[in-house]
A and B are shown apart, each in its own frame.
Chain A
Amino acid sequence: MTRPHIEPFCDRDVHFKNMPLPGFGRGYRYKMLSLDPEVGSCTMTVQLDAGYEQPPGFSYSELEFIVIEGSIRVGDQSCNRGHYFFVPAGYALPALSSDQGALLLMMYNTGEPSLEESDRHHDLSRTELYHDVDTYADIVWAPGNVVSPSVAAGCMIKLLNFNPQTFAMTFLYCMVPQFHQDNISYHDCCEEGYHLWGTSWMMQFGDLPTGGYFWRPPYINHGAFASEYGCIAIGRTDSKLFNHFHYNPWSTPGENEERSAARLAKRDPVLYKWCVNHAHNHPHGPEDFEETMERRGTHTHADGTTHSHGHEGEHEH
C-alpha cells in the first residue's frame, strides 16, 4: 500500500485529461485522484463524453465504479447516478456507452487501468463476486453505528461491498445538515472518501466540498467533524474500520499506532502476547499516549490517585 496521503484534494480544481492507455478509446477523460505507483492501482474521476462507446471487455485489475452524474448503458441495462459496480479482475463487462455523457468515479483496486476487448471472462476471473446495485433507489440508509464506538447520529451509511476476510468495505455515507461530532478519530486501516455532493468540515483539513477527495493512510488524525448543509459521499477502507477516538490533536501517526497496540494489549492480552511479544512476558506493553501525554493541570485517576502533569517524562503515582 504505497499511495501517499492525499488530503484534502478537490477534483474541481484540475482539468480532465484524455486517457492515453490502450482500449479506452476517444471520449474517455480522467482526473487522477490517487495512485499507487508500484502496482498502478488508482482512483480517478472519469468523464465519458456524450456518444462514448466502449466495447465489451475486462480489466486485469479489480474495479469498482459509481455513476456520479448522467447515465450510462451497460449491455441492455440503463444506469443512472448512484449506480455502483463491483467488477472482479477478468470479468468481461458488456458494451458500455453514454448517450448524453456521464461522470464516474473509477477505482482500480489491484492494478493499473486496463481494458482488454473481449466478450468472454478471463479464465482466472472470480466471476461470482460481480455485483451492481442502484444505491440511491435500492438500498436504505442505515445508522452509522455498524461499528462501536460509532459516529454520532446523523451520519448514516449504505453498505455496498464487504470483504468477509479482511473486513474491507465500500459504503455510501451521508451527514445530515448541522451534523457535528466532537472527537478526533484515526483507524488501523487506509480510508478513502469522495464527496458526491455537499460539503463537510474536518478540524485538520477544513472544508471538503463536492468533488472533494481524500486517501488517508492508517493512524492519521481526522476530526472533529461537521457539515452545515449536509453531504453524501462514497467511502472505502482496506481492512477493518475501528474508530479510535481521542482529543489530542497533536498526536502523531506513530503515537496513534502505538496506542492502538496498547489498546489491543489491554483488550486481548493473550492474543497480543502471542502476536507481538512472541509469548515472551515483556514487563510493559506499548505506550498509550492518553496515559502519558502532558496535560494542562492536576487530575484524578479512576483509582483515586492524583497528580500534576506540569512536567515531561516518567513519574510516580
Chain B
Amino acid sequence: MTFRDTRIERDLPAEVRKWLEEEAAEQEERYRRIVEAMEALDPTRDQWYEEFFERIRRHGFNVDGDQRVQIPEHDLPVRPDRKHKVVY
C-alpha cells in the first residue's frame, strides 16, 4: 500500500534482510494453508452459489445500493468446465 508515497531510502541491515526472508517463508506456508482450507470448502461453497442464484432469481440482485433486479433463470451463468478457485 502506498497511500501518500512517503518513504525514506536506507541500506537494510543484515538482520532486517534475514527477518524479511523468514517472514516471507512463513507467509508462503500461511498462503498454502489458506488455499487448502478454501479447497476444503468447495462443496459448501457450491451450495452457497446455488442459494445465491435462488435469491437473485426470487428477490433480486443488488445492482446499486438497495436497488434490486430479478435475474431470470435463463440469464444465470453456466459453470465453466475448468477448476474453480477463489484464492489467487
Q: A-side interface residues toward B, CB under 8 Å?
A: 4-9, 20-22, 32, 34-35, 37, 40-42, 60-62, 64, 86, 88-90, 107, 109-112, 114, 122, 124-126, 129, 145, 148-153, 161, 163, 166, 168-170, 181-183, 190, 192, 203-206, 217, 220-221, 224, 236, 238, 245, 247-250, 252-253, 293-299, 309
Q: Which residues of A sit under 8 angstroms from B39, Cβ to Cβ?
A: none
Query: Is B7 a contact of A60 with CB atoms below 8 Å?
Result: yes
Once A and B bind, how many residue pairs between them come within 8 Å at the CB atom?
A: 192
Shortest CB-to-CB span from A263 to chain B, Å, is 14
Q: Which residues of B sit under 8 angstroms from A8, Cβ to Cβ?
A: 34
Query: Is B1 a contact of A21 with CB atoms below 8 Å?
Result: no
Quick one: closest B residue to A237, CB to CB? Answer: B1
Query: Is B24 a contact of A145 with CB atoms below 8 Å?
Result: no
Q: B-side interface residues toward A, CB under 8 Å?
A: 1-10, 12-13, 15-16, 19-21, 23-24, 26-27, 30-31, 34, 38, 41, 44-45, 48-49, 52-53, 55-56, 59-66, 68, 71-80, 84-88
Q: Which residues of A sit under 8 angstroms from B3, Cβ to Cβ?
A: 62, 64, 86, 109, 161, 163, 166, 168-170, 236, 238
Query: Is B88 a contact of A253 with CB atoms below 8 Å?
Result: yes
Query: Is A21 a contact of B63 with CB atoms below 8 Å?
Result: no
Cβ 8 A contact of B78, one of A122, A124, A236, A296: A296
Q: In the complex, A150→B66 CA distance in Å?
A: 9
Query: Is A129 a contact of B27 with CB atoms below 8 Å?
Result: no
Query: Is B65 a contact of A163 with CB atoms below 8 Å?
Result: no
Q: In the complex, A48→B13 CA distance in Å?
A: 24
Query: Is A206 a contact of B41 with CB atoms below 8 Å?
Result: yes
Q: Which residues of A sit under 8 angstroms from B80, Cβ to Cβ?
A: 250, 294
Query: Is A149 a contact of B65 with CB atoms below 8 Å?
Result: yes
Q: Which residues of A sit under 8 angstroms from B76, Cβ to Cβ?
A: 247, 295-296
Query: Is A109 a contact of B34 with CB atoms below 8 Å?
Result: no
Cβ 8 A contact of A182, one of B9, B26, B59: B59
Quick one: closest B residue to A293, CB to CB? Answer: B77
Query: Is A89 a contact of B7 with CB atoms below 8 Å?
Result: yes
Q: In the complex, A220→B71 CA distance in Å?
A: 22
Cβ 8 A contact of B77, one of A5, A41, A166, A247: A247
Query: Is B4 a contact of A40 with CB atoms below 8 Å?
Result: no
A62-B45 in contact given A182-B55, A182-B61, A294-B77 (Cβ < 8 Å): no
Query: Is B6 a contact of A151 with CB atoms below 8 Å?
Result: no
Query: Is B1 a contact of A168 with CB atoms below 8 Å?
Result: yes
Query: Is A238 a contact of B52 with CB atoms below 8 Å?
Result: no
Q: Which residues of B sit under 8 angstroms from A245, Cβ to Cβ?
A: 61-64
Interface centre among B1, B61, B78 (most CB of A within 10 A): B1
Shortest CB-to-CB span from B75 to chain A, Å, is 5
Please list 22 pairs of residues, one from A and one from B, whose beta carbons are closer than 8 Å in the complex, sorted by A's number.
A4-B27, A5-B88, A6-B27, A8-B34, A32-B26, A32-B27, A37-B20, A42-B23, A60-B10, A62-B5, A62-B7, A111-B7, A112-B20, A149-B63, A205-B41, A220-B88, A247-B71, A253-B88, A294-B77, A294-B80, A295-B76, A296-B78
